[in-house]
Structures are given as C-alpha cells and as structure tokens.
Chains A and B, each alone.
Chain A
Amino acid sequence: MSEPKRKTELRHDAGGRAAHDVGGLDFGPIDRTEHDLAIWEKRVDAMLILLTGPKKGAFKIDAMRRVIEDYGQQQYDSTTYYEKWIRAIRNLLVEQEVLTRAEIEEKVAAVEQAMRASGRQLAGGTVPWDNVETPL
C-alpha cells in the first residue's frame, strides 16, 4: 500500500486547530459518572494490544491516533472513545494489508445477516471509511 498521506483536518471556526485538538475549547460539563465497558469495547481494547504488540506489530498506536485525527470534526465529535478505536483499527488493517476492505465488508455483511436471522436488532447505518461527512 502507498504511504499514508500526511494531512491535517482542521476544526471549523477554531483558529486553526486540528479537528481533534480540542483542549481548552468549551465542550460543556464533564460527565463524571462511572460506567462499565461493554463487551465489544473490551474486545477492541484487546484487539489493539494484540495488533500493536511484538508478535503482530501491525502498526503503532501513533498510527491509530493519526487515523482518528484524520477522520475530521464531524466523526470526532459524534463517536465514542472505542468507536474511534475500532474504526481506526479497521482502516489500519487495510492500510497495512492485513485484511482487504472487501474481506472486512464481506464479513460485516455476513454477521449482519446472521444477526437479522436470529432476530437481533441492528443499529443501522454504515461507518464511513474516511472523513467524508455522512449522516450516522
């Protein structure tokens, strides 16, 4: 895969800040309630540790941060912590040629079909592969 492009997605009306670089901006009150992680979030955490560990070494955590930053303002503001992680991991698996985009999309479609067949409710929508602003 060709080298990823170095770029900065700017935040709108923020004096030249990058989209993610929000330290010091007013984002409203901080939610101090504690909550458990969902199972899928723990899996994402484990996935990151395994992928960035010495055995697999697919990418550095710095690359994950870069992908999250490159998603831009709309995605940054509308995704949760682990939603950011899993999107970036997914993109990096393709960027580093661990999996192809087609393989991932095929598997997602298969999982969705199995879930529908078993009566599970799906959230709906699609996760963009880049920072194209789409409704979630």
Chain B
Amino acid sequence: MATPRFRVGDVVRVDARAALGHCRTPFFLRGKTGVIVGIQGAFHDPEKLAYHKPGLPRMVLYKVRFKQPEIWPNYPGRPHDQLEADIYEHWLIRADGEARSDSHAAA
C-alpha cells in the first residue's frame, strides 16, 4: 500500500478548498478539524475514476472522527456526540502544518 502520511491519533484539518468536479469530501466537513481513528487502505482515486481514468496512484483513505458541536453551529444534540467520515489523504492537512503542495485540480 502507498505509505500513509498520517497515523492513528494525528489531528488533521479537512482542506477548505473548492473541488472541481467529482469529490468525496463533503462540503460540511471542509475546514473542520478531527482526529485520525483508522486507516482504511489505499484505493484508486474516485476523482479520476469518475472521468474514466485509471485513478492511479492509489490514495490512502482515513477514518476521521469529528465532534458534532464543532461541525454544526448551535448543535442541539449532546456535547460529546461524534461523527466519523472517510476522507482521502489529499484532502487532509496536519492540523499544525502547511497545506499539501500538490494540487488536485485537473487530473
């Protein structure tokens, strides 16, 4: 498998950039901070598969856990509620680090 850039326990932020075309990172999570709780494996990039391209190189997919009150303004649920989402590596930034330099615009 491609070498994962992040490890379980890492605090990461979802990039707040706009997507062009097919993307598996939902808008409501852009710019939100969470923690890596699992590494799902490496998969053909759906952003390329959607355009009939092979989707290589494989991208590492992480399970990221977020706190619900940090996602939704005036969250009406319990303060310790969580949300987990599968996010691809090229959408994640180490929370205290720089954004990735490789752009993922036209593939």
Contacts and interface: CB of A to CB of B under 8 A. Distances in A.
Contacts of A66: 21-22, 50-51
| A interface majority secondary structure | loop
Contacts of A15: 27
B27 A24 contact: yes
A59 B52 contact: yes
Contact of B27 (A7, A21, A69, A96): A21
Interface of A: 3-4, 6-8, 15-18, 21, 23-24, 59-60, 62-63, 65-66, 69, 96
Given A16-B18, A18-B19, A66-B21, A4 B26 contact: no
Most-contacted residue by chain A among B18, B20, B28, B52 (CB, 10 A): B52
B1 interface: no
A60 B72 CA distance: 33
Interface in B63-90: 71-72
Nearest to A16: B18
15 contacts: A3-B51, A4-B51, A4-B52, A6-B21, A6-B22, A8-B18, A8-B19, A18-B19, A21-B27, A60-B49, A62-B46, A62-B49, A62-B50, A63-B50, A66-B50
